[in-house]
A and B are shown apart, each in its own frame.
Chain A
């Protein structure tokens, strides 16, 4: 499809989606009416700049189904991702949405060179997280054999990779490296495996990580990008050129904006990535601010695809951390710490990467007043530690190691970012 043809298609779809949300989502109708915009004012893709933005906060404020456009009877799947407070972001998918998602995922896998002859292991988390099922449906859509490995049980997974002759692997890049570590431990050589293609994403990674994964697993590793608010994995993907990730822009229209002025930026400039879903029925979003900082690459790709490419994610315009593929906000930790009277309202998140796996340590200060006679044994202190760890696990969806600190020992911080020490070298 030529760029002009696609622009025309995008314009038509944009008009349709604006009309759709105007009539089905009170939140958007109100926003559009405030701006005095009628669906008929939106006719071409260039008109998109007239539309209001959607933020994570909007999703949170309208928890759980406020932004859902389709009636519940049409929703066949619901995923959830973490929010900045206790409420997760709920995303419902219609049958058509699942079809589009599978199609986009198949598009990614095809670009990686996956065919129906491949045996493909999906080692993203299955469950509320979109990674597992998203990749799973794409592999099935192509007709390759899918192994729903999920995360954990790494030794058994490696045995299957070897014994079944698994050729493809989808997981986080850090898990790929963890697999490599485990191979070394078990004495499995890459020559014993038939792996040839990897789809890696859900967390930022670097070119040097790619080289290491490719060298140790004996495959070619491709980036995959996505977010549940827009769809899930398959929003963009690398082709064989591995020079930026092509965006499935017939379904997800990208813009780059200045995160401060909210003005659109020209191709090539780095800013915040914004997506509008052009075809989604369950929970469409207009100009959703991803908070991911990157650029859209100008020019055409040598592979021949005309879909625009996005560069590597260079950072975030908020304080969200991605730990083992899971979104973590310092404010989530804060809400837990504040809910327990034993702790002072000071905390620190220490993120590191040990043996290629992200680790999260949460440091909290004991409050002097609550350090009473019951706390004269490690067993009592450990119990408190365990209680906090369990609460954190249930709110964050990932395990955090708790470290108790003496009163007054955590640095008093100004601003949110001062609550985080990220030691990962990315």
Chain B
């Protein structure tokens, strides 16, 4: 029910981001979504891509601090308020969201979020029959 996201530690200085992107390019990995959580000194670059496990191995080979995190990716209706409606379900279930971001996949809005309460999140998704995407959806994408 979750997808693999790459989380990459990058220092705030020129040349660090391109090192990551070059390594992915070299490995022929298709990026699907990226977002960065930045601080004054470093950033955590989060990447949704095709073949995340292979991407992770390639990045490690390039000496990059990378980890795989499991995140949920729900499909949203393309209309105002759909994100609010979905998040409200988790909120009512008492689930804290660590971070969220969105991207478009084949014209559909995808909401990515991470929570430490994975079991309850899965239950909420099942009970409400929320459409989620799986890793295969990302691999086929290219």
Chain A residues with CB under 8 Å of chain B are 366, 368, 371-378, 381-382, 403-409
**Residue among B10, B65, B67 having the largest count of chain A Cβ atoms under 10 Å:** B65
Q: A389 to B99: give the CA distance in the assembly, Å.
A: 26
Whether B67 lies near A375 (C-beta < 8 A) is yes
Q: Are B114 and A376 in contact (CB under 8 A)?
A: yes
Asked if A368 and B69 make an inter-chain contact with CB atoms under 8 angstroms apart, the answer reads: no
| B residues in contact with A403, CB < 8 Å | 41
Given A366-B9, A373-B69, A376-B69, residue A404 in contact with residue B41 (CB < 8 A): yes
Identify the closest chain B residue to A401 (Cβ): B41
Interchain pairs with CB closer than 8 A, number: 62
Q: A377-B37, A377-B98, A378-B39 are in contact. Are A371 and B44 (CB under 8 A)?
A: no
Interface size class of B (residues with CB under 8 A): 20 to 34
CB contact under 8 A between A408 and B39, given known A373-B69, A376-B44, A378-B44: no
Complex CA–CA separation, A251 to B39 (angstroms): 55
Q: Which of A374, A377, A404, A408 has the most CB of B within 10 A?
A: A377
Residues of B at the A interface (CB closer than 8 Å) are 5, 7, 9-11, 16, 37-39, 41-42, 44, 46, 60, 63-70, 98-99, 114
Q: Are A404 and B9 neighbours in the complex by a CB distance under 8 Å?
A: yes
Q: A208 vs B11: C-alpha distance in the bound complex, in angstroms?
A: 37
Of all chain B residues, the one with the shortest Cβ separation from A371 is B65
Residues of B within 8 A of A377 (CB): 37, 44, 98-99
Contact of B42 among A373, A404, A407 (CB under 8 A): A404
| CB pair A406 B16 closer than 8 Å | yes
Please indicate the chain A residues that have their CB under 8 angstroms from the CB of B10 in the complex: 406
Q: How far, in angstroms, from A405 to B63 measured CA to CA in the complex?
A: 12
Question: Is A376 within 8 A of B5, CB to CB?
Answer: yes
Query: Do A371 and B67 touch (CB < 8 A)?
Result: yes
Closest partner residue, chain A, to B98 (CB atom): A377
B66: contacting residue among A371, A374, A381, CB under 8 A: A371
Q: Tell me the nearest residue of chain B to A366, going by C-beta.
A: B65
A-chain residues with CB within 8 Å of residue B99 when the two chains form the complex = 377
Cα A232 to Cα B60 in complex, Å, equals 52
B13 to chain A, nearest CB (A): 9
A407 to B23, CA, bound (A): 15
Among B38, B39, B60, B67, the residue within 8 A (CB) of A373 is B67
**Cα–Cα, bound, A407→B38 (Å):** 18
Interface pair B44/A375, CB less than 8 Å apart: yes
Query: Which residues of the partner chain B approach A378 to less than 8 Å between Cβ atoms?
Result: 37-39, 42, 44
Q: How far is the CA of A375 from the CA of B65 in the complex (A)?
A: 10
Chain B interface main SS type: strand
Q: Which residues of B contact A374 (CB under 8 A)?
A: 67
Nearest A-chain residue to B11, judged by Cβ: A406
Chain B residues with Cβ under 8 A from A406's Cβ?
A: 9-11, 16, 63-65
- Secondary structure type dominating chain A contacts: mixed
Shortest distance in angstroms between B119's beta carbon and chain A's nearest beta carbon? 16
Is B44 touching A381 in the complex (CB atoms < 8 A)?
yes
A-B contact pairs, 16 of them (CB 8 A): A368-B63, A368-B65, A371-B65, A373-B69, A373-B70, A374-B67, A375-B44, A376-B44, A376-B46, A376-B114, A381-B42, A404-B11, A407-B63, A407-B65, A408-B63, A409-B11
| Residues of A contacting B66 in the complex (Cβ-Cβ under 8 angstroms) | 368, 371
Tell me the minimal C-beta distance from A389 to chain B in angstroms: 13
Question: A371 contacts B9, CB within 8 Å?
Answer: yes
CA distance A406 to B19 in the complex (A): 11
Measured in the bound complex, the distance between the Cα atoms of B65 and A372 in whole Å is 9
The smallest C-beta distance from A24 to any residue of chain B, in angstroms, reads: 53
Q: Give A407 to B20 CA distance when docked, in angstroms.
A: 13
Contacts of A381 in B (CB 8 A): 9, 39, 42, 44
User: In the complex, are the beta carbons of B11 and A405 less than 8 A apart?
Assistant: yes
Other contacts beyond A371-B66, A375-B44, A378-B38: 12, CB < 8 A: A368-B60, A373-B7, A373-B68, A373-B69, A376-B69, A376-B114, A377-B44, A378-B37, A378-B39, A382-B39, A406-B9, A406-B10
Report yes or no: A407 in contact with B64, Cβ–Cβ below 8 A.
Answer: yes
A371 CB to closest chain B CB (Å) equals 4
CB distance from B34 to the nearest CB of A (A): 13
Residues of B within 8 A of A404 (CB): 9, 11, 41-42
Complex-state Cα separation, A194 to B98, whole angstroms: 57
Most buried by A among B7, B16, B60: B7
A408–B16 CA distance with the chains assembled, in angstroms: 12
Separation of A377 and B39 alpha carbons in the complex (Å): 10
Nearest residue (CB) in A for B45 is A376
